Amino acid sequence: MTTFPDPADLYPDVAAKGSLAAALQEVAKEHGFILGAVAASETQPLLHASVPSATPHREALGVSAGHISRYWLINGWGQGTPLISGQTQKLSEVAKVAREWRHGTPLRDIQRSAPFTELTYLAEAAEQGPAHLVSVQWEWVRQDAEEAPWPEYRVLVEAAYAEPRLRQLFPYVSHWLLRFSTTTGSPFSPDVVCLQVGRDGYVVKASSYGPVLGETAGPEEAVALAARHLPTGIGPAVTGAYGK
């Protein structure tokens, strides 16, 4: 069983403030700015905190401390999409990134001022709206398919991409099951249709665990069948997580 150092021993300066949230507030104050009502973790206040966002499309920035060695991690999401992460040994750098995140500084500008940060492949597209997110996600799904170990899956993805009614949705893959969401963020919408490679061809399903709608010999026929089962009037994927 793995044992971890006592956080109070690993982070005595944070322990002296009572929580990581309080330590972040103090560092920000020393540098002449405020971070709002930084929230401390109820269960591990020395190791976790979240900095509230003053920007509507960004969620609170998560800040965590390392359990074994001394460092801090950041993790930022916006409308159900992962946008930024990073690791540093300086709490002052975390506080400065939190300030920029909080006030809506463009992600690329945050990265330029804080090189320890990393942007996800969806990050900049998320700042440009749902159509850009869908387009970049399709690029990722198609590239991932190119690296798949069997050609049947690659041609299925390309056939799905060629169908405009599917191409307007946000695609994602789970256990080589090609799924589609009407929202760009997680949690995604309930499945509208799913596609997968079968034993002797291609399978169209109503949902990941739902009934089989049909099986076809070729990928184009499977995509056509899937398109016929899409809800009437379905439009392009919209920004955000389902139900939020």
244 pLDDT tier (thresholds 50, 70, 90): confident
pLDDT at 110 (0 to 100): 97
Does residue 202 surpass a pLDDT of 90? Answer: yes
- Residue 187, preceding peptide bond in cis (omega within 30° of 0): yes
Range 102-121 average pLDDT: 96
Whole-prediction pTM: 0.89
In whole numbers, what is the pLDDT of the chain averaged over residues? Answer: 95
Percent of the chain whose predicted confidence (pLDDT) is above 70: 99
Domain stop point among 124, 150, 167: 124
Whether residue 135 is found in the same domain as residue 208: yes
Domain stop point among 124, 148, 168: 124
125-166 per-position pLDDT tens digit: 999 999 999 999 999 999 999 998 889 999 999 999 999 999
Residue 2 located in a structural domain: no
| H-helix or E-strand spanning residue 46 | none
Residue 194 located in a structural domain: yes
Whether residue 103 is found in the same domain as residue 26: yes
Q: In whole angstroms, what is the distance from residue 18 CA to residue 46 CA? A: 7
Domain count, the chain: 2
Whether residue 79 is found in the same domain as residue 154: no
Residue 1 located in a structural domain: no
Whether residue 13 is found in the same domain as residue 79: yes
Does residue 21 surpass a pLDDT of 90? Answer: yes
Residue 225 located in a structural domain: yes
Q: In whole angstroms, what is the distance from residue 52 CA to residue 221 CA? A: 48
Whether residue 108 is found in the same domain as residue 153: no
pLDDT at 2 (0 to 100): 67
Whether residue 120 is found in the same domain as residue 13: yes
Strand 61-65 relative to strand 117-119: parallel, antiparallel, unpaired?
unpaired
Amino acid 104 reads G
Residue 59 located in a structural domain: yes
Range of the domain at 197: 130-241
Whether residue 96 is found in the same domain as residue 50: yes
